[in-house]
């Protein structure tokens, strides 16, 4: 018998939803074409939401969630729907938001970024997809990585939280590693990846000083690094990276000699808003 989570997530996928919201005091909500749609009138209770989250996370991750009050995780239904899960608390109540991951990776042409195909031929540097949540950063990154895996190959190592798209390659090797399951923290895993003979390194998201510093170091060592970063536009990417460092290190960061490409994604138009190549030397 399918679990409640399987039933809800499968229904959401069939309805074309992008996200599922489970919160106390509210019905189950699907986001479809950008709009929130209540699924019935029955409001969730603390007991129901907590039990739902426990069934999705499993005992080990659920314990971490209770201790840390927030967790990111992946989930797959028995019907093959894959989701990125975030569980948190709000006014002391548990809540869950699930992002439905497309079952196929779109091509560069599908999402209108075929003009960026030239970036797939780069052999070193840092390529960032920037923009707000929901702008299409992860999808754009996945399309580019799969294009490289299909046409170029090489050894690709991903560090993700959690793993979203599943890549495939007949020309090379792809190793996808997930935070919490395959490594404990991004900076340590990023230092260790240099000993794993990679051609391309994928960092799901540059979130903090240590992760950003490690990504810059990897780019300096002659590797091609892909990542996402929350910035309002491509132009402000440099300031976002530099400002995370202490003042006495900022000038050094500005002059690090490696190519940086920042691509802003705007989900409404599904096109590249702007593209600039930075060589800060």
Q: Which domains does the chain have, with CATH numbers?
A: 4-101 (3.30.450.90), 114-278 (3.40.50.300)
Mean pLDDT of 59-86: 94
The two structure tokens encoding residue 30: 């699907």
The secondary structure of 242-265 as a DSSP string is HHTS-HHHHHHHHT--S-EEEEEE
- Contact between residue 119 and residue 252 where contact means Cβ atoms under 8 Å apart: no
Report strand pairing: 260-266 vs 271-278: antiparallel
Q: Whole-model pTM? A: 0.81
pLDDT at site 265: 60
Q: How does pLDDT run across 230-263, given as a tens digit for each residue?
A: 888 777 888 899 999 999 999 988 887 777 887 7
Mean pLDDT for the chain overall: 89
Q: Could you tell me the strand order of the sheet in which 93-101 lies? A: 35-38, 29-32, 17-23, 93-101, 82-90, 71-76
- Contact between residue 180 and residue 71 where contact means Cβ atoms under 8 Å apart: no
How many Å from the N-terminal Cα to the C-terminal Cα in the chain? 61
Nearest alpha-carbon partner for 228 in 281, 175, 165, 152:
165
Percent of all residues in the chain with a pLDDT value above 70, rounded to a whole number? 93
* Helices and strands in the chain: count of H runs, count of E runs: 7, 13
pLDDT band at 272 (very low <50, low <70, confident <90, very high): very low
Q: 195 burial class (0-12, 13-18, 19+ CB within 10 angstroms)?
A: exposed
pLDDT at site 263: 79
Percent of all residues in the chain with a pLDDT value above 90, rounded to a whole number? 71
Distance in angstroms (rounded) separating the CA atoms of residues 263 and 113: 10
Q: 220 burial class (0-12, 13-18, 19+ CB within 10 angstroms)?
A: middle
Is the pLDDT confidence value at 194 over 60? yes
Q: How does pLDDT run across 147-185, given as a tens digit for each residue?
A: 999 999 999 999 998 898 999 988 899 999 999 889 999
Sign of the Cα pseudo-torsion (136, 142, 145, 146, in order): negative
Mean pLDDT of 118-133: 89
Distance in angstroms (rounded) separating the CA atoms of residues 189 and 48: 37
Is the pLDDT confidence value at 273 over 70? no
Helix locations, the chain, DSSP H: 4-14, 46-68, 137-151, 186-192, 209-220, 237-243, 247-254
Top-confidence range, 37-51, 125-139, 257-271: 37-51
The two structure tokens encoding residue 89: 């608390």
Sign of the Cα pseudo-torsion (134, 138, 142, 144, in order): positive
């Amino acid at each position: 018998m399918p679990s409640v989570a399987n039933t809800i997530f499968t229904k959401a996928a069939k309805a074309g939803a992008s996200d599922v919201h489970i919160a106390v005091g509210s019905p189950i909500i699907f986001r479809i074409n950008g709009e929130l749609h209540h699924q019935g009138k029955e409001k969730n209770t603390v007991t129901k939401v907590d039990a739902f989250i426990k069934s999705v996370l499993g005992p080990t991750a659920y314990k971490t969630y209770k201790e840390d009050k927030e967790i990111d995780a992946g989930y797959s239904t028995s019907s093959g729907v894959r989701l990125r899960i975030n569980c948190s608390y709000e006014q002391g109540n548990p809540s869950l938001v699930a992002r439905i991951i497309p079952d196929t990776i779109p091509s560069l042409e599908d999402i209108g970024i075929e003009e960026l195909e030239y970036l797939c031929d780069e052999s070193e540097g840092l390529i960032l997809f920037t923009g707000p949540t929901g702008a299409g950063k992860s999808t754009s990154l996945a399309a580019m990585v799969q294009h490289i895996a299909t046409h170029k190959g090489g050894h690709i190592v991903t560090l993700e939280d959690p793993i979203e798209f599943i890549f495939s390659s007949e020309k090379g090797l792809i190793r996808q590693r997930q935070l919490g399951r395959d490594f404990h923290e991004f900076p340590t895993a990023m230092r260790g990846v240099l000993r794993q003979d990679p051609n391309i390194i994928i960092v799901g998201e540059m979130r903090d000083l240590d992760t950003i510093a490690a990504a810059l170091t990897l780019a300096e060592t002659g590797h091609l690094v892909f990542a996402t970063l929350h910035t309002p536009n491509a132009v402000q990417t440099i300031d976002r990276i530099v400002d995370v460092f202490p003042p006495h290190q900022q000038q050094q960061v500005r002059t690090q000699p490696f190519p940086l490409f920042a691509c802003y994604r705007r989900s409404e138009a599904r096109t590249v808003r702007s593209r600039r190549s930075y060589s800060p030397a």
